[in-house]
Amino acid sequence: MSDYTTIVGLEVHVQLATASKLFCGCSTKFGAEPNTQTCPVCIGLPGTLPVMNRNAFQLALKTAVALNCEIPAYTKWDRKQYYYPDLPKNYQISQYDLPMSQHGYLDIGDPKGAFEPKRVRILRAHLEEDAGKSLHDEVAGKGDSLIDLNRTGTPLLEIVSEPDMRSPLEAKAFLTELKLLLTYIGVSDCNMQEGSLRVDANVNLHIDTAEGKVATPIIEIKNMNSFRAVERALEYEVGRQWCEWQETHRKLGDAPKQTRGWDDVAGVTRGQRSKEESSDYRYFPDPDLAPVTVGPQDAAAIRESLGELPAALRGRLESDFGLSAYDADVLVNQGSPVVTYFLDVAKFTGDPKAAANWVTQDVLRTLKESEHTIESLPVASSALAELIRKVKAGEVPSSRAREVFQTMVEKRVDVAAAMQSLGIAAVDEGELIALCQKLLAANPKTISDVRAGKLQAVGALIGQAKKQNPNVDPTRFRELCLELIEKAP
């Protein structure tokens, strides 16, 4: 059996989080009654003209800079022409040969080491207007189609990667990292259900044969509604192309590029009716819009305004806070508010390790199991820091620290109040010694066992001590017991 390499490239459409559309003042809010967020400009009435939304261009620039793209000094608008009822002008204002950014990259990795860290190159990212939505009755010659133009003209950033991913998992990692980046810089809500992030995947196989490497025809997959769906669709498509290769030996170039749609329920891709293959969009510069110039200062100013991006943040958590790559990844992937929370806890306690343990375990579990976000969590970073401090000082037995945290969340109280409601009070050292002496006196066998080297015999005494006083810190009690046995005659 011969071997093959999977080649994946992605095209991601991201709706930018502007209040108004790209070329008119209409709202971009999702979910309004159909055709209520329209005006003569975005429905393409005769005589209307587009006016560029500066904010949309700014958000696009921000994204491009975050993706390490080159920002050309000059970019222009082109018309991409095709007839479709949800495209009222029958052309889309887009960017063709001079996109606003190109030649960037995004680094991806897997903390569990499922693949080697790698750099995925970004071919280009350009701005364009979104089309409307159609609802069809597909029966030929019958039935009406309904069109909603609320989405028409929403700013859309198309990000095109180079075919640098070598597995469905890498593709998923790219999307996850891209979404994280877009969320960090606040340019999009990246909600796939509402269509603010849409993915098309291009995939084929490079097969090792006796005659050398052979590429199979490139397939474009559409209709994937989650990153998991992208991964599954690619897995399916890789298998399908492998089988097809074995049956047909069809190579790249033997057939025109085909588009297949992903059926998430059936778990298969299906060939879509190819509309005019290799469509001619008759791109030409839009005479209604002036080209946009971007000075080197503009790009620099944006770079400064970006703040710390996920990759840099992971590095800093590892180098400055001594976190493991895994912990750093878990924290950063939660988004910047969680990272800020962690950084505060680490600062207040001076103990980044403990802070990381608490945040990656108890805090994240709570967020997962409750309706809380990090912002609404009743335990502020300062309160968690206080709890950690009390545990280290022995004021809260480490065995009960989690209980205290839960109580702080559920009852929305501070550490002291949580301790009180749980009846936790620090046990006085003298009291602890007295209890220890009392139990040792009652259990002489423990002393002889320990002296014989069976240190675990102390365990039984810890149990009894906790029964008599639940606030007993088992670690300290054990230490005291061993000390007393050693000192005992």
Partner 1 sequence: MALFDQTATEHLKGLESGALKSVELTQTYLDRIRAVDNRVGAFLSVDADGALKRAEEIDERRAKKQRVGRLAGLPLAVKDILCERGKVTTCASRMLQQFRPPYDATVIAKLREADAVFVGRTNMDEFAMGGSTENSAFQVTRNPWDLERSPGGSSGGSAAAVAAGMAPLAIGTDTGGSIRQPAGLCGVVGMKPTYGRVSRFGLIAFASSLDQIGPFGQSVEDAALLLETIAGHDPRDTTSLDVPVPAYSQSVNKPLANLRIGWVREHFGGGLDKEVESAVRAAFEVYKSLGATLHEISLPHSKYAVATYYVIAPSEASSNLARYDGVHFGYRTDEKEMLAELAADRRRLETAGDKAGLEHLDSALVRMYRRTRAEGFGPEVKRRIMLGTYALSAGYYDAYYLKALKLRRLIRKDFDDAFGKVDLIAGPITPAPAFKIGEMSGDPLAMYLVDIYTVSANLAGIPGLCLPCGRSQAGLPIGLQLQAPALEEERLFCGARMFEQATDWDKGRAKL
Determine, following the binding rule CB under 8 A, whether residue 45 of this chain makes contact with partner 1.
Answer: yes
Determine, following the binding rule CB under 8 A, whether residue 142 of this chain makes contact with partner 1.
Answer: yes
Phi, psi of 3 (to 5 degrees): -105, 160
Q: Which does 51 bind (CB under 5 to 8 A by kind): Zn ion, partner 1, none?
A: partner 1
Determine, following the binding rule CB under 8 A, whether residue 91 of this chain makes contact with partner 1.
Answer: yes
Pick 26 or 332: Cβ nearer Zn ion? 26
Q: Which does 26 bind (CB under 5 to 8 A by kind): partner 1, Zn ion, none?
A: Zn ion
Residue 442 host element (H or E): helix 429-442
Q: Which does 125 bind (CB under 5 to 8 A by kind): partner 1, Zn ion, none?
A: none
Q: Give the shortest CB-52-to-partner 1 separation in angstroms.
A: 7
Determine, following the binding rule CB under 8 A, whether residue 44 of this chain makes contact with partner 1.
Answer: yes
Distances in Å between the alpha carbon of 176 and those of 106, 180, 226, 367? 11, 6, 10, 20
Pick 19 or 146: Cβ nearer partner 1? 146
* CA 15 – CA 195 distance, rounded (Å): 8
Question: DSSP E strands: which ranges in 210-308?
Answer: 212-215, 219-224, 258-263, 268-271, 284-285, 292-293
The tokens for 112 are 């569990």
Q: Give the shortest CB-145-to-partner 1 separation in angstroms.
A: 8
Q: Which does 273 bind (CB under 5 to 8 A by kind): partner 1, Zn ion, none?
A: none
Pattern 430-459, partner 1, x by CB under 8 A: ------------------------------
With beta carbons less than 8 A apart as the criterion, state whether 462 and 477 touch: yes
* CA 270 – CA 311 distance, rounded (Å): 37
Determine, following the binding rule CB under 8 A, whether residue 51 of this chain makes contact with partner 1.
Answer: yes
Q: Give the shortest CB-50-to-partner 1 separation in angstroms.
A: 8
Q: Is the dihedral of CA 265, 271, 275, 278 positive or negative?
A: positive
Q: Give the shortest CB-64-to-partner 1 separation in angstroms.
A: 22
Pick 51 or 73: Cβ nearer partner 1? 51
Pick 127 or 190: Cβ nearer Zn ion? 127
The vertex-39 CA angle with 37 and 41, nearest 5°, equals: 130
| Largest pairwise CA distance in the chain | 104
The vertex-11 CA angle with 8 and 17, nearest 5°, equals: 145
Residue 295, classified by CB atoms within 10 Å of its CB into exposed (0-12), middle (13-18) or buried (19+), is exposed
Pick 21 or 172: Cβ nearer Zn ion? 21
What letter does residue 165 receive in the DSSP assignment?
B
Q: Give the shortest CB-6-to-partner 1 separation in angstroms.
A: 31
Q: Which does 135 bind (CB under 5 to 8 A by kind): Zn ion, partner 1, none?
A: none
Q: 276 to 305, contacts with partner 1 by CB under 8 A?
A: 280, 282-284, 287-290
Pick 100 or 338: Cβ nearer partner 1? 100
* CA 255 – CA 274 distance, rounded (Å): 12
The tokens for 85 are 């009822």
* CA 26 – CA 32 distance, rounded (Å): 12
Pick 142 or 487: Cβ nearer partner 1? 142
Q: Give the shortest CB-371-to-Zn ion separation in angstroms.
A: 36
Distances in Å between the alpha carbon of 100 and those of 16, 121, 227, 356, 463? 15, 16, 27, 40, 69
Q: 144 to 203, contacts with partner 1 by CB under 8 A?
A: 145, 147
Phi, psi of 298 (to 5 degrees): -60, -50
Pick 129 or 200: Cβ nearer Zn ion? 129
Determine, following the binding rule CB under 8 A, whether residue 312 of this chain makes contact with partner 1.
Answer: no
Judged by CB under 8 A, the residue of 17, 27, 48, 367 near partner 1 is 48
Q: Which does 42 bind (CB under 5 to 8 A by kind): partner 1, Zn ion, none?
A: Zn ion
Pick 23 or 236: Cβ nearer partner 1? 23
Give the residue from 375, 305, 280, 269 showing the smallest Cα distance to 81: 280
Total residues at interface with Zn ion (CB under 5 A): 5
Pick 257 or 316: Cβ nearer partner 1? 257
Total residues at interface with partner 1 (CB under 8 A): 32
Determine, following the binding rule CB under 5 A, whether residue 93 of this chain makes contact with Zn ion.
Answer: no
The vertex-393 CA angle with 388 and 397, nearest 5°, equals: 75
Pick 42 or 180: Cβ nearer Zn ion? 42
Q: 17 to 36, contacts with Zn ion by CB under 5 A?
A: 24, 26
Give the residue from 440, 438, 429 showing the smallest Cα distance to 472: 429
Pick 60 or 345: Cβ nearer partner 1? 60
Choices 40-48, 134-142, 214-222, 304-312 (CB under 5 A): range interacting with Zn ion = 40-48
Judged by CB under 5 A, the residue of 14, 22, 42, 64 near Zn ion is 42
- Partner residues linked to 292 by β-bridges: 75
Dump the DSSP string for 167-225: SHHHHHHHHHHHHHHHHHTTS----TTTTSEEEEEEEEEEEEETTEEEEPPPEEEEEE-
Give me the residues that bind partner 1 (CB under 8 A), please.
40, 43-52, 79, 81, 83, 85, 88-91, 140-142, 145, 147, 280, 282-284, 287-290
Give me the residues that bind Zn ion (CB under 5 A), please.
24, 26, 39, 41-42
